[in-house]
Chain A
Amino acid sequence: MNYEAVIGLEIHAQLLTETKIFCGCSTRFGSEPNTQTCPVCIGMPGVLPVLNRRVVEFAIKTGLAMNCRISSYSRFARKNYFYPDLPKGYQISQYELPICEKGYIDITVDGTTRRVGITRIHMEEDAGKNIHEKDCSLVDLNRAGVPLLEIVTEPDIRSPQEASAFMKKLRAILRYLRVCDGNMEQGSLRCDANVSIRPEGSDELGTKTEIKNINSFRFVEKALDYEIKRQIRVIRDGGEIVQETRLWNSETGKTESMRSKEEAHDYRYFPEPDLVPLEIKREMVEEIKAALPELPDEKKARFVRDYKLPEYDAEILTEERSIAEWFEEAVRLGARPKEVSNWMLTEIMRYLNETGKEIEEIDLRPPQLVELLELIKGGTISRNIAKTILPEMISTGRPAEEIVREKGLVQISDTSELEALVDEILSKNQKEAQRYREGETKLLGFFVGQVMKATKGKANPKIVNEILRKKLS
């Protein structure tokens, strides 16, 4: 029998606000432990939480971008449990009446587009951080009270590849909106997955497990792939799936049962009496909607339509808003779109991947790339020379012309100079010339190579080719 997977995701996204959700403590990452707390976020008696307006704006923004219905009335709830990183003994979250419901995100895998439903998006506070020592645990409450959006999907995902595509798209949207930096390794974007399997074509749902600790984009696919195969193995061996929480272990490449004593999850939610409800006015939603940036899907479609880019180029250029904007600026300065795309997708992206930098962090700006392209177009340098100097332009921000002049890289297009050189090379390689004339025309590349070697790559390849053909015929 063949099995199919049923996957739902639960995502936590840390919001890029300056301050925490219910107090004015800073949310800065990486500060000294316990230096960003106050009586509100460490749960002292008698304090009152007050909601950060920007958190509500970010939640609405995200909901709109994910095609959700924005609730006109919303409130907070207490989720009760004891854990040392939760100073109040409850987390302020939302239960009934979340701020956003019933949305969707479209994903494309292997050319097929599928719609993944968003059940709800709600606002809540993050907990602190525990560090486990040999004989005790240490608690840092800097993160306690940092605003989170919890995004819950419908169990619409059918494969690890789809889950990965979904997370990529979700991250792109969050980053376009500038509400979350989407860094899974640092934990500002976290993803838990509910996974079950069933016979292909069945409508029933199998027993699910919850996978936690997927702490990198690389692991979304790997962890789910492992878990689905594990469940299929269990069923084929005549066993039963146990409903449990399993942790992804990136070192072993396996999911492992948490084996904690299964404490009944009984959160006893009730409306948070310390916070007044939210009444979200239509005008506020409309205002936020009007200010939404163009989102990845629309931008990609526009790049294909207006710049005549291949789907593949448009897809990659629009994954990051800053990269898309960089591209468009170069095009606005007069460069040919496909030309800019080619350079960005190869040399520039390679540099970004290797250094882990964002495009706005490098010294090369669009006008400098356009200058370089002008030098090629005008015949001053060859494409190959351009390739060799681009890395230096990227890392130093120096203009192309300066580097070309300093290193004497100006292309040789002087026909008489090149003709003399070709004559010399042909006389040195008479055997090869003979073979060429006898029909071994693939030797042309050999001669071009010799000319390039002699000129350190500066010979104009088009002219060299012409001269060679003429002299060898």
Chain B
Amino acid sequence: MRISREEVEHIALLARLRLTDEEKDLYSEQLSNILDYIEKLNELDTSHVEPTSHVIPISNVFREDTPVESLGVDEALGNAPDRSDPFYRVPRIIE
């Protein structure tokens, strides 16, 4: 299965990655190879197999609706690259 350069550009845009021309060619090639490899699985007939939702065979793991202590503002903002207390500060979003 071919992954075109345009598709690589689209995926890069969605992932906010800036790629050079060489990288686009390289990833187009590599992604295509990966998909070809995975394609092998399609040789199996899975029409009678339930799709897997989760690899661990358990369901219904819940917590009760009981509040616990939250982080303080300082700790919460501790890893932020930029802050303007008590907020995270980011580049302006709206035009």
Binding site for B on A (CB under 8 A): 17-19, 23-26, 32-39, 42, 44, 50-56, 73, 75, 80, 82-84, 130-141, 260, 264, 266, 268, 271, 273, 275-279
Contact = CB atoms under 8 A, between A and B. Distances in A.
B67 A26 contact: yes
Given A51-B63, A273-B54, A135 B68 contact: no
Given A34-B76, A34-B77, A276 B66 contact: no
A84 B93 contact: yes
Contact of B61 (A23, A51, A135, A138): A51
A73 to B, nearest CB: 8
Contacts of A260: 95
Interface stretch (B18-26, B27-35, B39-47, B82-90): B82-90
25 contacts: A17-B65, A19-B68, A25-B67, A25-B70, A34-B88, A35-B72, A35-B73, A36-B70, A38-B68, A50-B62, A51-B61, A51-B63, A52-B63, A73-B53, A75-B53, A131-B87, A137-B90, A273-B54, A273-B55, A275-B54, A276-B59, A276-B61, A277-B53, A278-B59, A279-B60
B63 A50 contact: yes
A34 B62 contact: no
A35 B60 CA distance: 29
Q: Number of contact residues on B: which range applies?
A: 35 or more
A37 B70 contact: yes
Given A24-B67, A38-B71, A137 B61 contact: no
B35 to A, nearest CB: 15
Nearest to A267: B14
A137 B16 contact: no
Given A25-B67, A34-B88, A50 B93 contact: no
B93 to A, nearest CB: 5
B49 interface: no
Given A35-B72, A37-B71, 7 more contacts: A24-B68, A32-B73, A34-B76, A35-B73, A51-B63, A75-B53, A277-B53
B38 interface: no
Contact of A140 (B59, B87, B91): B87
Nearest to A25: B70
A18 B63 CA distance: 12
Contacts of B71: 37-39, 42
Given A51-B63, A279-B59, A25 B68 contact: yes
A266 B70 contact: no
Given A138-B84, A266-B14, A276-B60, A54 B93 contact: no
A141 to B, nearest CB: 7
A55 B81 CA distance: 33
